[in-house]
Structure 1
Amino acid sequence: MNAVLTLIERRYPLFYDLGTKRLRLVLAFFAALYLGVAGVMWAELIVTSQDLFTRAGPIIGGDFIVFQHAAERAGDPDMAALYEMKSLKAELEARYPGHGEMNFGWMYPPTMFLLVAPFGDAPYLAAYGAWIGAFGAILLIVLYRLWADRFAMFFAVSAPPFFQAVITGQNGLLTAALLALAGGFAEKRPVVAGVAAGLLTVKPQLGVLVPFAFAAAGCWRAIFWAGATALALAALSVAAFGPDNWRAFIDGLLAHGGRMTNPGFPFEKLVTPYSFAAMLGAPARVAGGVQAAATLMLAAYVAFIWRRTKDADLRLATLSTAALMATPYAFYYEFVIALPAIFVIARRAVETGWLKGEKLSLIGLWLLTLQAPGDDVVPSLSVCALSAFAAFAIVARRALPAGGV
């Protein structure tokens, strides 16, 4: 390898210089190029849209259509009907006639109504802008606390998963921040970490590993505050909207689990072991078995790392990258959850030195996430799942030695 680099340096000094001494600027240029091109294309879709719907078909903000509709329905006597996909589909199609089928689902616990309710009174575009602006700002503040570096912050904003979280109108920017706070501050700021973990219960599948992490590390204060926050949210949702929504939520969740076994489900958009197996053509039972085994191993892995090291960066990175794969149901727009993990790993590399091939691994991961959500052909390799596996491997390469492996 050294001989190859020496040859390149001798024959192509400019390319060698760009790939070594000026690599940071080169990467910043391509990140800016991606952000500029993607931003212009997105802006063009918005400018040319009619009645909020783009020429490509989907509404501006994608899934935010469901969040705002739920916000407007919060408090209605029949709001529990949102948990029935047929009912939600009929409501959205009646609200936006002439725009095809609205195959959306509302699979969130009733506590999510508390989060979305403030966005129900504003016009759609204003509410969408506030939704993305507020959650994006929270994530950027958390990232800045982790690494106050202007180049690093720019790379974070220009990362494909960040942009995908924005245009899909999902809540990944918020859940990424909450998981980073829970993972990175459990030891030194247990109240902050616990409250963040409790708030994460609005999307419970992404926090399934948090109790294992906190318990393994003996972060009992964080556990207390997480439990107190979760219980307070649940009680507040019952007080505000009644208990019927919880029964509807459980029924809707069971029905949705059955839909995930159907061949027509968009497995290519998931980042999980379940989707990886399904995209290879595995039957639902086999894919479910793969996911169950992966979840158990991930829980053991997270508990091991959290027990063996007090390094907050590695705890955060381990939890965030494992959380994506511990549930069968995590879409590509939630890959932004891994962003804080990659952020702290890059900071560690800059401060203490890069591992062999680590720079190329991070560049490769950036390029891989650019391909999301990937092809829907079965059998094939899932680009989304491979991205999650790659992020996990990059973190594990540093976390396992710190744990004594």
Structure 2
Amino acid sequence: MRVIVAGLAAMVAFKVFRFFEGGLWAGNQTADFSAFHIVAQHVWRGDLDLTYQFALFARMQAEASGGATSFMPWTYPPQFDLLLAPLGFLPGWAGYFVFTAATLAAYLITLRTVAANHLAHVLVITFPAIAITIACGQNGFLTGALIGLVCINADRRPVLAGLALGAMVIKPHLAIAVGVYMLLTRRWTTIATAAIVVIASSLVCTIAFGPQIWIAWLGAIKESAGYLEQGRYPLFRMISVYASLHKSGLPPVLAFWGQTAVACLALAAVALAVLRGPSARFALGVVAIVSVMISPYAYDYDLPIVGIGLALLLPDLSRLASARERSVLYGLILFVNSYGLLQSARLAAEHATAEELEHYFTPAVAGVVLLAVLAMLLRLLLRDARTANATQREEPADLLPRPARVLE
């Protein structure tokens, strides 16, 4: 485990070293964080709403990069802008180091709390997703840590769980499954706390940036839907069924309905895990894993959340699944975590841009593989439910085991 952690620290240090060689945009190595840094600077310039206009933001990125063609549209809620604001006072390399090191540390601490003795096992499977998140400077560690905090505290500290859930307003589409879990389990304190966080942070953003920021954000969301429909995002790195279907040649409408069906299936898995699952911990593991399957817009750097889910599942998996089934499940998750990293390595080896690689025959298979993971989880849940029903018919009601706590 120490070797893996040391390797991750070396990766962060290497990225920072490269910034000194050629700047934040050198080799287009951290286009995502570079966009974060530009937004942070415009917070203090008082024209944050301009970053939500794709044409203007593309010009900002081109000017900052010295003419690089890579473009990352800005569609994050204003709360994330507020979070990034302090980075505007730092040079790019320092901002990257502070943001990545802090969020990586938060994620690893959270993952260690959840995984306990299984940490090394989870880290090996999750390592490629962690590596790609470091490479692009994205916020997957932050969202993974927040979802982990929700799961850790859902049972015993509902207010803290609500604070973490409310903070997921920075990426609300990744919190849908968790929200459904809270509703199904009637955790009203957590839900109320999260609602207060969202409302209060929205008020702060309105005061800080003006009411026009919400109009700008909604306009960017509408424009991004057009980008997604036209396939202008790098679909090969997306992990949604929508991307898999769209990339395979299906029309956007059919791809969207396919994504809708998978989202419904994922939420059905959450409901089944809550109502008939082996433990609350296992249910939360299902919640974390399917969090990345709801929205058509999800990337490989969002996969650290799946690491949290796997850590939650492991104690029950040894009983629910055979050795072969566990191996298949681990292999599927490892493949999903690795695919984006392998394609990025291919991009670097061929000295191609993301746009050029997109035009090659590069299938977006991660969404289909995640669907296979979902199918396996549903199979385990249904089989365990049948076993539990058989046991209930054989045992007196007062001898049934009590539900397990989330985390002991």
Structure 2 length normalisation: TM-score? 0.81
Which position in structure 1 is the counterpart of 2:47?
Answer: 78
Q: Is the 8 A contact 1:110 1:249 kept in 2?
A: yes
Which position in structure 2 is the counterpart of 1:6?
Answer: none
Deviation of 1:282 (Å): 0.5
Q: Is the 8 A contact 1:279 1:379 kept in 2?
A: no
Instruction: Please say if 1:94 is aligned against 2:63.
Output: yes
Q: Is the 8 A contact 1:173 1:336 kept in 2?
A: yes
1:182–1:248 Cα change, 3 Å: same
Deviation of 1:253 (Å): 0.3
Q: Deviations over 1:120-139 (max 9, x none)?
A: 11111111111011111111
Moved more, 378-387 or 257-266: 378-387
Deviation of 1:333 (Å): 1.4
Query: Which one of 188, 213, 216 corresponds to residue 184 of structure 2?
Result: 216
Instruction: Please say if 1:51 is aligned against 2:33.
Output: no
Which position in structure 2 is the counterpart of 1:239?
Answer: 207
Q: How many residues align?
A: 371
Which position in structure 2 is the counterpart of 1:180?
Answer: 148
Q: CA RMSD in A?
A: 3.1
Give the Cα separation in 2 of the matches to 1:132 and 1:44: 10
Give the Cα separation in 2 of the matches to 1:142 and 1:218: 25
Q: Show the 5 A alignment for 1:25-36.
A: none
Give the Cα separation in 2 of the matches to 1:364 and 1:302: 20
Query: Which one of 347, 369, 376 corresponds to residue 337 of structure 2?
Result: 369
Give the Cα separation in 1 of the matches to 2:317 and 2:277: 18
Give the Cα separation in 2 of the matches to 1:40 and 1:201: 27
Instruction: Please say if 1:113 is aligned against 2:81.
Output: yes
Q: Is the 8 A contact 1:318 1:399 kept in 2?
A: no
Deviation of 1:154 (Å): 7.6
Which position in structure 2 is the counterpart of 1:143?
Answer: 111
Q: Is the 8 A contact 1:74 1:113 kept in 2?
A: yes
Query: Aligned AA for 2:340?
Result: A
Which position in structure 1 is the counterpart of 2:306?
Answer: 338
Local SS of the residue matching 1:340? helix
Which position in structure 2 is the counterpart of 1:325?
Answer: 293
Q: Is the 8 A contact 2:122 2:310 kept in 1?
A: no
Give the Cα separation in 2 of the matches to 1:117 and 1:44: 20
1:292–1:47 Cα change, 3 Å: closer
1:182–1:398 Cα change, 3 Å: farther
Q: Deviations over 1:304-360 (max 9, x none)?
A: 32234482321221111111110010011111210111122234446x586231134
In structure 1, list runs of 5 or more residues that go unmatched: 1-27
Give the Cα separation in 1 of the matches to 2:114 and 2:138: 23
Moved more, 219-228 or 141-150: 141-150
Give the Cα separation in 2 of the matches to 1:128 and 1:40: 9
Which position in structure 1 is the counterpart of 2:400?
Answer: none
Identity %: 23
Local SS of the residue matching 2:323? coil
Give the Cα separation in 1 of the matches to 2:334 and 2:47: 44
Instruction: Please say if 1:248 is aligned against 2:216.
Output: yes
Give the Cα separation in 1 of the matches to 2:168 and 2:371: 23
Deviation of 1:171 (Å): 0.4
Q: Is the 8 A contact 2:143 2:305 kept in 1?
A: yes
Instruction: Please say if 1:359 is aligned against 2:327.
Output: yes
1:221–1:270 Cα change, 3 Å: same
Q: Is the 8 A contact 2:12 2:101 kept in 1?
A: no
1:84–1:40 Cα change, 3 Å: closer
Q: Is the 8 A contact 1:281 1:379 kept in 2?
A: no
Instruction: Please say if 1:389 is aligned against 2:371.
Output: yes
Deviation of 1:208 (Å): 2.0
Q: Show the 5 A alignment for 1:259-278.
A: 259-278=227-246
Q: Deviations over 1:220-266 (max 9, x none)?
A: 11111111111111111112211111110001101110111114432
More contact order relative to length (CA 8 Å, sep ≥ 6): 2
Deviation of 1:155 (Å): 2.4
Give the Cα separation in 2 of the matches to 1:113 and 1:137: 21
Query: Aligned AA for 1:278?
Result: H
Deviation of 1:107 (Å): 0.4
Give the Cα separation in 2 of the matches to 1:301 and 1:354: 17
Q: Is the 8 A contact 1:88 1:105 kept in 2?
A: yes
Q: Answer 1 or 2: which has greater helix percent.
A: 2
In structure 2, list runs of 5 or more residues that go unmatched: 344-356, 388-408
Q: Deviations over 1:286-309 (max 9, x none)?
A: 111111222223223323322344
Give the Cα separation in 2 of the matches to 1:131 and 1:167: 13
Give the Cα separation in 2 of the matches to 1:395 and 1:42: 38
Query: Which one of 129, 150, 170 corresponds to residue 202 of structure 1?
Result: 170
Q: Deviations over 1:6-33 (max 9, x none)?
A: xxxxxxxxxxxxxxxxxxxxxx89x969
Moved more, 64-73 or 183-192: 183-192
Deviation of 1:116 (Å): 0.6
Q: Deviations over 1:49-97 (max 9, x none)?
A: 423343xx214x3310111111111143321010011111111222332
Q: Show the 5 A alignment for 1:10-29.
A: none
Query: Aligned AA for 2:364?
Result: S
Give the Cα separation in 2 of the matches to 1:349 and 1:149: 14
Which position in structure 2 is the counterpart of 1:12?
Answer: none
1:117–1:231 Cα change, 3 Å: same
